[in-house]
Structure 1
């Protein structure tokens, strides 16, 4: 028993499974990725960086407000002068107000309307204004009774504010220095006159922390700039890929429309060609049989026979083209009915016996006896079988045999399998032989010429029945062609109808 095939081969000539189809696209993607990984990014992202800076200020605007309020409440709790503390808090909050207003205005502006130089100047001025409150904090008097060295507490708070500001202002180089250069200098100047060693050390730490945190902010600025350049390159690459995809989709749509138009044209022209060809066949047969009178010239009689045989061959070719074009155009209509698959295959074998005897080829037919009826198109099933048998005879060597099997698939469907002992088909030519008018190289050299339409028609008719067509082949070992019909087309066996036995009584009914 042959298992049901999982998929059918591609009927187009191009094999989509091969990687060389997308080699150019893959090369372009790899080059772009290398450019992304090696480039530091273009330097002109000033407007984007200003936008990022404005977003960072607005997203962290509440943090300095909360810190100022916490310091004020703590100072009042420790015994600071309430009036001085409140004035400092108001001055510090007022210093942040221009920065927040400028950031909101910058956030709402289109990028093409941002004047980079002027905006940077305004932002530096706003950051300087925000640092004036912390400059006053450096001289804010703390009660000495609570701490032995209150300057250490002031320096620690300033260091905390500077570190947080370094993170927020990393997208604008120099903003940290503009905001806290004055507070750090004033704090260092104040503690320089203090005799306590702890205050002096705190002044040195704070003075050293400003350039260090400015250096960290500078590297974060470079990282943000590089990230923006990568994002820009990625967007450009995505845009190119989307454009290429749109062009590919449009080309595919046009190709499908052209293929459909071709199929409709062939279907129409093939139908029109059959009308005069039938007249040629009829008249040539009349002449060859001398129906209207004897032909004295034997050459004329041979010509009439040649015309008739050539016309039959041409009619067969036109019928194949018509069938294939109807299948591709979706105009092939199945006339489905219950049929016996084994009986049809056996009948087709009898029809092809004469052709097989010409090459001294024998048939071996194996039909499983338990097959149920199949709901299918009898003409299509016959055409499938005859095409496969014709190919098997054509490519089998003289004196060999063709094995025909009909039975159940593993999934409960039914199959036809025809195996020959021919030269086989190379794997890279399977898509070619399944395309319209396609023929493999070995087949062309070792067998008589054909139209190349038999296998595409078999594949199309199998697909119309929701079945699959598969070629299992090996070079110099023959080919096994399998057509599997699905389980849904197998008809259930009806139970026997019970009959009432009549009593064999004399007068009873």
Structure 2
């Protein structure tokens, strides 16, 4: 099996699983067909001999019937002694053929004996032809009429046809079996010296040679069919091997990834505890709670320690969040959550950073949006990560636009678009992968961990939502996180306390969808625009 290019451990595992296939090819006694331009007949000699044996096993009853018929004819036409000798010879040949076929079928493998058995079967075919020729020679050797010649001609043609059906798997099998009898019949008809009988004799000999060529063509077609079966079997074996290797490699990769995720998820306390201590003590020293720091360098060092510790803690939190999601240990606490409130909260948290870069944040919020059934922390993290990314890659005095509204399917979406340099199309898959960073992010002074978008994408998918990133060079990047209609919490039904209710038969939020277009668009009726 062609297992080159795979990991050695995977190959060893698969080779042990598929060792039975190699044994199957060894039992069939042929080499693999790889690299062959055309099927070699020598590679399929054992199959041809096996098919010859199978055919003769099925034709023994007709053969015995034919011998019996000829013996009866000999009894009627020949002296008793001559008919008896021919009958014994015919029965002996039939018995030899039957015993040789039985012996052949008992063999588990030929192991290089193909030539021996080919000669054996051809020898038995020659004996059969000689016995038939002896019978024909013993009949009265005068063909006095066209009717007798026609009967002999029909007998010869039937003999040749039956030989083709039973002996085409043997090379020269038809010629060896039919030519002696056809020659005797041709001689008998030529002795009549009539043009018609002479023509019949020529046709018999020509038909015998033609049928040998026809048997050769049939044998070639059989070899081509066997070759195709071997190629098909080899392709199946190779496909099974490649599939098994792929499955084994994927299983090992999944186990390794799961082990990594479980390790990081369980290391949360061990990683965060010392960092919290570092941050706490550095903050105490920076504020000079226990006394003044008389050295300005110490103050600068403490500030660097606190800043570096905060960055490291943020990195660890992102890695642990992604690891918990991959390990399936992220527990969702579903409750009513407003995307609008999450956007307002994220805007307030990023307000200082936007002010430092003179970035304008535009809010376009559709009013009266109902809550979503979602994890509040996850929704806040989605919005905050997207807004932080947008501010990071938006140049000074740029614009970040946030839109919240209905989707065309009755769900809700949040879209955050920046006016940054954009992302090349071929780098989008890299940006969405864990720790992936585009060329612009690498050149940027505000490099991140490359985990923000993968975490957002995973959290959106946990809510059965859809995540989409669209970007054009020198125009900016837009990220859209949408949530399905099943996540939208329907308004409360009507009661007697004066709360308005939906008319009977009207789906939830029908009135909102009538006044506000479903796709996200700037300036759609019912959209409130804010800026910071």
TM-score interval, smaller chain = 0.7 to 0.9
The whole-number CA distance in structure 2 between the counterparts of 1:498 and 1:325 is 50
Alignment check: 8 A CA contact 2:142 2:188 kept = no
Cα offset, 1:126, TM superposition: 3.0
CA distance in 2, matches of 1:104, 1:418: 83
Report the equivalent of 2:56: 57
Superposed counterparts of 1:93-104, under 5 Å: 98-99=96-97, 102-104=100-102
Q: Could you say if the C-alpha distance between residues 452 and 131 of structure 1 is closer, same or farther in structure 2, counting changes exceeding 3 Å?
A: same
Distance 1:217 1:490, change over 3 A: same
2-side partners of 1:443 and 1:149: how far apart?
Answer: 102
8 Å CA contact retained: 1:99, 1:130:
no
Residue matched to 1:41: 40
Q: Does 1:386 align with 2:384?
A: yes
Aligned equivalents of 2:422, 2:445: Cα separation in 1: 12
Q: Secondary structure at the match of 2:168?
A: helix
Give the Cα–Cα distance (whole angstroms) in 1 for the partners of residues 482 and 141 of structure 2: 94
CA distance in 1 between partners of 2:298 and 2:305 (Å):
10
- CA offset at residue 343 of structure 1? 1.9
Return the offset for 1:351. 1.7
What residue is the counterpart of 2:358 in the other structure?
360
Q: Deviations over 1:448-493 (max 9, x none)?
A: 2111110111111122222232211222222221222223222233
SS at match of 1:239: helix
State whether residues 42 and 229 of structure 1, in contact with CA within 8 Å, keep that contact through their aligned partners in structure 2.
no
Structure 2: distance between partners of 1:450 and 1:325: 18
TM score, norm. by length of structure 2: 0.76
Distance change >3 Å, CA 124–CA 448, structure 1 → 2: same
| Cα offset, 1:158, TM superposition | 2.3
In structure 1, distance between residues paired with 2:241 and 2:45: 28
Pairs within 5 Å for 1:148-167: 148-167=146-165
Q: Distance in 1 between matches of 2:62 and 2:351?
A: 95
CA contact (8 A) 2:470 2:479 kept: yes
After superposition, the C-alpha distances for 1:187-242 in whole angstroms (9 at most, x for unaligned) are 11211211433222111100111112112222333343344345445544543443
CA distance in 2, matches of 1:226, 1:326: 58
Deviates more, 1:115-124 or 1:232-241: 232-241
Please name the residue that 1:376 is paired with: 374
Partner of 1:17: none
SS at match of 2:42: coil
CA distance 1:490–1:164, change in 2 (3 Å): farther
Q: Report deviation, 1:344.
A: 1.4
Equivalent position of 2:298 in the other structure? 300
- Contact 1:425/1:473 (<8 A) preserved: yes
- Structure 1 residue 390, shift from structure 2 partner: 0.9
Tell me the distance in 2 between the aligned counterparts of 1:365 and 1:319.
Answer: 29
- Other-structure match for 1:214: 212
- Larger RCO, structure (CA 8 Å, separation 6 or more): 1
Q: Distance in 1 between matches of 2:158 and 2:366?
A: 88
SS of equivalent to 2:121 = helix
> Alpha-carbon deviation of 1:61?
5.5
Unpaired segments ≥5 residues, structure 1: 1-31, 501-509
Q: Which residue of structure 2 aligns with residue 8 of structure 1?
A: none
Distance 1:351 1:89, change over 3 A: farther
Secondary structure at the counterpart of residue 43 of structure 1: helix
User: Cα RMSD (Å) of the superposition?
Assistant: 3.5
SS at match of 1:375: strand
Q: Which residue of the partner structure matches residue 341 of structure 2?
A: 343
Partner of 1:278: 276
2:507 is matched with which residue?
A: none
337-346 or 89-98, larger mean C-alpha shift: 89-98
Mapped partners of 1:332, 1:460: distance in 2: 11
Following the alignment from structure 1 to structure 2, what is the Cα–Cα distance between the partners of residues 353 and 398?
14
Listed as ranges, the matches of 1:480-495 within 5 Å are 480-495=478-493
Question: Does the C-alpha gap of structure 1 residues 99 and 249 become closer, same or farther in structure 2, counting only changes over 3 Å?
Answer: same
Q: Which residue of 2 aligns with 1:468?
A: 466
1:327-356 deviation line (CA, Å, top 9, x unaligned) = 122211111112122221222122212211
Contact residue 433 and residue 454 of structure 2 kept, 8 A: yes
The alpha-carbon distance between structure 1 residues 41 and 409, as it changes in their structure 2 partners (threshold 3 A), is farther
Matches within 5 A, 1:12-91: 35-36=35-36, 38-41=37-40, 43-59=42-58, 68=66, 83=76
* TM-score, structure 1 as length reference: 0.80
Give the structure 2 partner of residue 269 of structure 1. 267
Aligned positions, number: 461
Paired residue secondary structure (1:405): strand
- Matched with 2:125 is 127
Q: Tell me the SS of whatever aligns to 2:293.
A: coil
Tell me the distance in 1 between the aligned counterparts of 2:111 and 2:434. Answer: 61
2:451 & 2:204 partners in 1: Cα distance? 87
Q: Is the 8 A contact 2:159 2:178 kept in 1?
A: no
Shifted more, 268-277 versus 235-244: the winner is: 235-244
